[in-house]
Structure 1
Amino acid sequence: MSAPVVADPIRVALADDHALFREGIRELLSTDDGFVVVGEAATGDQAVAVAVEHRPDVLLLDVEMPGPGAAAVIRQVHRTRPQTRVIVLTMHDDDGLMREVFESGAAAYLTKAILLDELLAAARSVCRDAQTVLLSVSRRTLGRFGGHPAGPPPDPGAGGPAADRAPTAREREILRLVAARMNNAQIAARLGVTQATVKRHLTNIYAKLDARSRMDAVHRAAATGIITADGESGH
């Protein structure tokens, strides 16, 4: 009687600028014989290099790392290593970002609130079927992604965010630096904080301004006078 065929493990590369997060994912994946981590990256450029060098089946990609943005990384991976399926793993439940990465060729958009079993199932699914596209987002974001707002439109007579939703002084400073086309690493260095702190402020800014991306936040802030058109702080 012939021995059963054992499938090769899915080869995974991890791309996130937080070493502790990569270590955690690596440890979690090590508990399943169906997966093996073959490479890690802390920047967008490194993510592309790791995909080329180690030929992973799946690249788990954070959206906010130093270097090229997530969409550019995905496009480069598809050009240089088209067999690699890119799973975006992010803190941002954002339909604008989701649309951008899918248009660039991402196979899945998952929030970091998912469970390990869901992540493993997603990786298996996108490897099994190249046409599979997976989402793990809120109903609100899914509704906006489909072009159907999940709630009432904003009051056109409102002059800007409510007082309790107005960006703080530090958030306005970060908006000004984003308007100057600085990435998270550059902003963190300028302000003397960690990139995680910058990301946290950006998440708050997106929520307060109902923004879908970095530049959308800048445009909304300029339109409401939070910063001026040239990026300087407004009111």
Structure 2
Amino acid sequence: MATTPEGRPLRLLIADDHTLFREGIVEILTAAGGLEVVGTAGDGEEACRKAAELRPDIVVLDVEMPGQEVRETLPRLAHACPKSRVVVLTMHDDVVLAREMLALGASAYLVKGSTRHELLSALHSVVVDREPGHVILSVTQRGFDRVSQASADALSAREREVLGLTAEALSNAQIARRLSIAEGTVKRHLRNIYRKLGAVSRLDAVNKAVAASLIPAPHQRDAR
């Protein structure tokens, strides 16, 4: 049974844009005992708003949801409810993304292929083990191996520019204006980038390029 050190049930907020998956997680957690799901959210903004209102012990957060980007959601959650722990639960088996999420304040990073036991253990551990720097990471060896594979087909200088601006969360139209090119050209560059990196989304492409040192990490770029 997962409870707080004081013995009361852990209060959780579940944030995931897929209704069926979100409902399944709620059922699993409710059946476990010692857990109370106090709210759900379908995007990052709603997660931040409900976290500020409900003050959960833990926010279970999906990485890719509509609207607000996860790199904005994590700092906003920390500001809205600094005592809440964030457990990232995602389909991305990606060590680079995992490290970034932990650096932004998440206490745990679990792939959605994790078992029920691993999820419940993580939820208990992030509350009981409160030492600074205590994190939980669940990434398969395949996720580690992808880090070296991304550099197999290097990006062109223009593709790196496009991907660097993508990493800053700019839209295709904004990237086109910044580089003085057509929006259709931006889309073509992104298709080429996805093909070269074996990426399935903008976030996936950025993470693989950062892992292969093809572009700087977003936080490094901001620090310059």
TM-score range, shorter chain: 0.5 to 0.7
Partner in structure 2 of residue 188 of structure 1: none
For the pair 1:217 / 2:215, whether they are aligned, the reply is no
For the pair 1:83 / 2:71, whether they are aligned, the reply is no
Q: Deviations along 1:30-51, whole A, 9 cap, x unmatched?
A: 1111111001101110000111
The letter for the 2-side match of 1:43 is D
Within 5 Å, give how 1:59-70 maps onto structure 2: 59-70=59-70
- Between the aligned partners of 1:179 and 1:220, the Cα distance in structure 2 is 19
- Between the aligned partners of 1:100 and 1:122, the Cα distance in structure 2 is 18
- Between the aligned partners of 1:42 and 1:25, the Cα distance in structure 2 is 13
Change (3 A) 1:215 1:124: closer
* TM-score between the two structures when normalised by the length of structure 1: 0.63
Structure number with higher relative contact order (C-alpha < 8 Å, ≥ 6 residues apart): 2
Aligned-partner SS, 1:30: helix
Change (3 A) 1:86 1:41: same
- Between the aligned partners of 1:17 and 1:150, the Cα distance in structure 2 is 31
Identity across the alignment (%): 46
RMSD: 3.5
Is the CA contact (8 Å cut-off) linking 1:96 and 1:212 kept in structure 2? Answer: no
Partner in structure 2 of residue 141 of structure 1: 143
Is the CA contact (8 Å cut-off) linking 1:95 and 1:212 kept in structure 2? Answer: no
How many residues matched? 174
Partner in structure 2 of residue 7 of structure 1: 7
- Between the aligned partners of 2:10 and 2:104, the Cα distance in structure 1 is 23
- Between the aligned partners of 1:69 and 1:152, the Cα distance in structure 2 is 23
Partner in structure 1 of residue 152 of structure 2: 154
Is the CA contact (8 Å cut-off) linking 2:56 and 2:84 kept in structure 1? Answer: yes
Is the CA contact (8 Å cut-off) linking 1:178 and 1:218 kept in structure 2? Answer: no
Structure 1 or 2, whichever has the larger Rg, is 1
Is the CA contact (8 Å cut-off) linking 2:153 and 2:196 kept in structure 1? Answer: no
* TM-score between the two structures when normalised by the length of structure 2: 0.66
Q: Deviations along 1:99-120, whole A, 9 cap, x unmatched?
A: 3212211111110001111100
Partner in structure 2 of residue 198 of structure 1: none
Range 212-221 or range 31-40, more displaced = 212-221
Partner in structure 1 of residue 71 of structure 2: 71
Uncovered stretches (5+) of structure 2, i.e. residues with no partner: 157-169, 176-192, 210-224
Measured after TM superposition, the shift of residue 69 of structure 1 is 1.1
Within 5 Å, give how 1:1-235 maps onto structure 2: 7-130=7-130, 131=132, 132-142=134-144, 154=152, 179-180=172-173, 209-211=197-199, 214=202, 217=205
Of Structure 1 and Structure 2, the greater helix share is in 2
Measured after TM superposition, the shift of residue 155 of structure 1 is 5.9
Uncovered stretches (5+) of structure 1, i.e. residues with no partner: 160-176, 183-204, 222-235
- Between the aligned partners of 1:17 and 1:151, the Cα distance in structure 2 is 30
